[in-house]
Copies of this chain bind each other. A is one copy, B any other.
Amino acid sequence: MPPLAETAGLLADRTRAAFCQALLDGRAWTAGELARHAGVRPSTASEQLTRLIEGGLLTEERQGRHRYVRLAGPEAAALIEALASYASYSSSPRSLRQSVRLSAEAKARTCYDHLAGQLGVALADAMIARGLVADDSGLAVTPAGRTWLADALGYRHPAGTRRPLVRSCLDWTERRPHLAGALGAALCATALARQWVRRVGSGRAVKVTPVGGEAFRELLGVRF
């Protein structure tokens, strides 16, 4: 079996796909949580998780009687994003898309380790409008952007890392790009740490707190 087909096969199953999409929130889930989420028996979940781990898409971490599982890394997340984005791009009738836009996840959510949804797109737009990120056919952080990153988030990009500072990630609800890469991750981490956003429910949805609304307005002029 050629490697492409094999990798695709990992994601070509209802249950495994549900696992991976849930794990796009970047957190570690237990096997049982994923089983309930996908609506299968624990035994089934256990087997499918093993396959995903052996396939290199997930990593596990055992803690006592729990088996925690998370995406193997940004590359794996990017692959799943790419597939999900293409799939929703090529399918999804209009009416469904409309109703999706009204959900909590569409307003604001995490996408692996960065922010997405209407919030994510608004933040991306704001950073481009303020000249912190340039969108000259491909995204790039400007010098002003680097300063802002250090001042507002306390983030300095280590030289020589493989991960790009900023990467565009197509938003499957908004159909517009938001910011991924190290910048996106730093922004999301800060937002969670300083309680600008709070997770709601067990999924990927987040909610902007009053403090967060203030912060986003002050730092980037985003009104949400």
Contact = CB atoms under 8 A, between A and B. Distances in A.
Main secondary structure of the interface of A (DSSP, over half): helix
A128 interface: no
A215 interface: no
A4 interface: yes
A63 interface: no
A8 interface: yes
A82 interface: yes
Nearest to A82: B82
Interface in A146-194: 157, 164-168, 181
Contact of A4 (B5, B6, B11, B167): B11
A156 B192 CA distance: 44
Contacts of A141: 136-138
A87 B7 contact: yes
B7 A83 contact: yes
Interface centre among A2, A91, A134 (most CB of B within 10 A): A2
A141 B135 CA distance: 10
A146 to B, nearest CB: 9
A88 interface: yes
Contacts of A87: 3-4, 6-7
A220 interface: no
8 contacts: A3-B87, A4-B21, A4-B80, A8-B12, A8-B17, A55-B90, A137-B181, A138-B168
Closest 10 CB pairs of A and B: A137-B165, A12-B12, A8-B11, A3-B87, A9-B12, A5-B17, A8-B12, A7-B87, A138-B139, A56-B90
